[in-house]
Structure formats: structure tokens, C-alpha cells
Amino acid sequence: MPEIKVFSRAEVAKHNTEDDCWIIIDGAVYDVSTFAQLHPGGSQILIELGGKDVTEDFYGLHRQEILIKYAPRLKIGTIENEVAQVTMPVPGDLSTVPFGEPSYWMGFKSAYFNESHTRFRKAVRAIYDEIKPDAILAEDQGTYPSKELYMKLGEAGILASQIGPGPWLKGLKLPADIKPEDFDYFHELIAHQETARLGTPGFADSISSGYSIGLPPIFNFGSPALKAKVVPEVLLGKKRICLAITEPYAGSDVARIRTTATRTADGKHFILNGVKKWITNGAFADYFTVAARTEKGITMFFVERDDNIETKQIKTSYSPAAGTAYITLENVKVPAENILGKEGQGFQVIMYNFNHERWYICGAMTGATRVVIEECFKWANQRKVFGKRLIDQPVIRNKLAAMVSQLEAVENWLENITYQMCNMSYEEQSVRLAGPIALLKYQCTRVAHNVSDDACQIFGGRGITKTGMGRNIEAFQRTYKFGAILGGSEEIMADLGIRQAMKFFPKGAKL
């Protein structure tokens, strides 16, 4: 890094040629003489601005991370008697932008959150801030997270924090040194929201989605030996697992799956044959939690990858980093003791985790939606159109108001349901919360749809551009529909919510 000196504005103004080009950004002086040739917009743009203060131009065209990336190489000094006006982020910092955080972190009082939740959010965010450059690169290039990164996240407790409170956390390190016995669903909610805040939907699912739905059937229904082997491996990032239920013929209608499992003559194994489709993380998973049909009905199996399992990448709306796969099972031999639960009772195993899966999707959706709203606030404050900031236009304030009011409503509903989860047994949750969670998921994805639409309008062309200022907006509008389909489509969620409510409808109630 060049030696930092103090300059006057007059001194900087002299450096305005192709071979000697300096610029000022927020009171700091940058020598871009050699960098100009590498500038994506061409060298002429920088040369024309040589010797000038380009703060407004810079923040009208670039995200702050660009400055953070190149400052160590290009910054040579500061302007005398001037103080930087732009706050440079520190890893783990919470946002100070209005509605950039849930209300508790904006200074409001909360009946749910405490100091440990604040520490936990900051610790998780700091870890993600550190790996964000890798996440963006993987998202853009469509590469899977490396085994080294996966193990790093496992050792830091990031993976375990997205799986929920329970005995499986015993002995594990968690972010902010939260004790496993103190870890609750609010901590887990924060973990899902922070993962979504990365703004890299495909990569986020590569480190959170597959195992968070593929592992619970193991620790809830696996044999003691299977749990002892698999659960620690997955939570520490040594192995990766996914849930393989959906097929080309069956999505939400699980009863229609065609994959078969035939018991061998000696009764010690099952032979699995069939195909699975749209399996998140399936392309790189080591283990598969598979639904198949036996002579007794739908049965869940734990399956280890072998040469009889073929996985092919499926191209979807978001990055290949998620490893969404088409899986072919051809004469896959599985030990009978790898049945999860009981033969023929796989539907119960599948349903057991649906509430949790849908709830965590709500957490991810609210986290991603909040990032979009924060970015809209920032952009509206710094972007000038027709001589005014966007925020000075009533129509823009109206869009922000609509976005905020919708998100804050579902966020509060989500916190209330999370509180119920903390104070109900899993069995009680299954009975009382299935409907409310389904309706919440429906509303979260509807809100995401509305927010995405308004955000794209606020960002204009940048909102449909994969790089630059509107990167997060473009990624969100391209991928928010995943939440509206996965874990149960909006239509099914809406219907389920009302059908569940009718189970409690009082007999004889009339107008």
C-alpha cells in the first residue's frame, strides 16, 4: 500500500493527464494513472476526471465494495483539513439505514430478542462478510463451495446454527460462543436471515439448503449408529447431504413418487431404482435422504453416493453454485438398517420436517427482502435524477413505504410464530402451527414479489443488470420465486392454511 500523505486540492488538480492521473473520492486521494487502462468503462472516463473530486460520480456508478477492493493499492493520501463523510463498513457491523435491520436492532424494545441474539447476529455477519468475496465469485462463476470452505463454516458453527436447537448441537462450537443449551429458534432464524443477506441466492443455498432439510430425517428417525456417524460429519462440514423426494412426476403430491426400493432375497438390503429432479445440492452431495416406494408404501432411506448414482446439473434461474440436480438411481444397494423410521411410513418422516422447512424459508425470504429494501433506501438517497435525489420524489417515497410496511408486517408475524416454536413441543407445533406457517410462507413470498417489483423500478436499468449497483436487486427479482415454489407452492400453502384453520372451526358457529 502506498505511503499515505496529505495534499491540498490545488496539488491534486495538477495531476490530470493520461500518464499522471489522480482523483478525489470522499476526501481521499487515489492515483489511478496505471489503473485507468484496466478500468471497465475505458481509460478516457478517468482521464477526463483527473485532478477532480469525483465522489458524486463514483457513488452514482459504483458500489462501495469497489472502493474497498482497490483502496489498498490506489490510495496515496487525503485532503488536508477534510474528514470522510461516507462510513466504511466493518465486518459484523449492523446497518444504521432505516429498516435495514429488524426493529429490535434499530433500537426498539423486544419481547423476544436478548443480548445473546445481538452477539450472535454480529458474529454470523462477520463470518459472512469475510467470505462474501468468495460467495460473489462462486455465484458468478457457478462453482460449488470448496470442501475447505464448507469445513470452515462447519467448524465455526455456521452449519449447525441453521439446523435448529436440539441434542445434536451438544459439544459443538457456535458463533459468538453461544452455548448449545442456550441456542433457540430465534438464533436459528437469525442464521437463515444472515445467510440470505449475502445477496448470492445460489451460493447461499449451497451452504444452507440441502443439509437443513436432508439431515433432520437422520437425527429424528435414523438408528443410533446412523446418527452417530452421519450427524457430526455433516454439521462439521466434512460431508454434504441433500433431500431427494421430488421427481419429474411428483412435486407437492408426494404420494405419486415412482422411485422403487425392492428388498433383496436375504432381506438385508433394498435395491433402489428411479429418478429425482430439482434436488438442491444434489450435484455435489455425499449423502442422500431418499423417498422410495416399497411393497409396504413410501419409505425414507439414507443413501451414500456410489457409482450407481448419477447426478447431473440442472440449469435454473439462479446460479449453478446451488448444485441443483437431476439424480438417477440405478440398482443402488442400500442396507435395510438405513431405513429412516419404519418401512411404509415415509410420508410421516417427510411431513415431520415440513413446518420447519417452510419456517426457515420465511426467515431466508425476510432476510433477503430486507437487504433489497436497505439497498433501495441507499440508492434513493444517493442517486440524482432531474436535479433531485430519488428520495425527494414522492413516488419513490410511496414505493419505499409500501415495501417497508409489508415486510415489517410479515417480520412481526414470523417473530410471533418463532416464539410459539420456542414454547411448544415439536408435536404441538405440528398440530397448531402447520396452518399459520403455511399462510406466513404464502404472505412472505407475496411480499417478496411486490418488493422485487418496486425495487426494480427504483433501480431502473441497474435493477436488471447482474453486476454493479443493482446486483442484489437483479439477483432477488430473478430468484425470489424459488421461495414461492420450494417447500410447497403458494397455492398449496394458502389452501393448507385455511384447511388447517377449519379443523378448529367451532361447531354450530353461525351469523
**Using N-to-C axis directions, what is the helix angle for 471-479 and 434-459, rounded to 10°?**
140
pLDDT in tens, 335-346: 999 999 999 999
Q: What is the mean pLDDT of the chain?
A: 93
- Please give the torsion angle defined by the CA atoms of residues 8, 9, 15 and 17, in that order, rounded to the nearest 10 degrees: 180
The arithmetic mean of pLDDT across residues 17-21, rounded, is 89
> Would you place residue 479 in the very low, low, confident or very high pLDDT band (cuts 50, 70, 90)?
very high
Give phi and psi for 315, each to the nearest 5: -80, 120
pLDDT in tens, 279-312: 999 999 999 999 999 999 999 999 999 999 999 9
Q: Where is pLDDT greater, at 88 or 99?
A: 99
> Which domains can be identified in the chain, with CATH numbers?
5-79 (3.10.120.10), 103-207 (no CATH), 241-350 (2.40.110.10), 353-502 (1.20.140.10)
pLDDT for res 107: 83
Q: Which three cell numbers stand for residue 256?
A: 405419486
Rg (CA), the chain: 26
> Would you place residue 1 in the very low, low, confident or very high pLDDT band (cuts 50, 70, 90)?
low
The residues, ordered by sequence, that sit 6+ positions from 281 with a Cβ below 8 Å of its Cβ are 205, 206, 209, 210, 211, 214, 240, 241, 242, 322, 323, 324, 325
Position of cell 424459508? 361
Distance from CA of residue 493 to its chain's centroid? 21
| Parallel/antiparallel/unpaired status of strands 75-79 and 5-7 | parallel
The answer to whether residues 39 and 58 touch, using CB atoms and an 8 Å cutoff, is no
% of the chain residues with pLDDT over 90 = 83
pLDDT in tens, 179-230: 999 999 999 999 999 999 999 999 999 999 889 999 999 999 999 999 999 9
pLDDT in tens, 426-473: 889 988 999 999 999 999 999 999 999 999 999 999 999 998 899 999
Q: Give the C-alpha separation, 448 to 3, whole Å.
A: 47
The answer to whether residues 145 and 281 touch, using CB atoms and an 8 Å cutoff, is no
| Least confident window among 96-110, 408-422, 437-451 | 96-110
Residue 41 has pLDDT above 80, yes or no: no
pLDDT for res 61: 85
CA distances from 443 to 253, 358, 415 (A): 22, 12, 14
Q: What angle do CA 68, 71, 73 make, to 5 degrees?
A: 135
The answer to whether residues 492 and 252 touch, using CB atoms and an 8 Å cutoff, is yes
pLDDT for res 351: 87
Distance from CA of residue 178 to its chain's centroid? 22
pLDDT for res 249: 87
CA distances from 331 to 82, 172, 224, 289 (A): 72, 37, 26, 16
pTM score, two decimals? 0.92
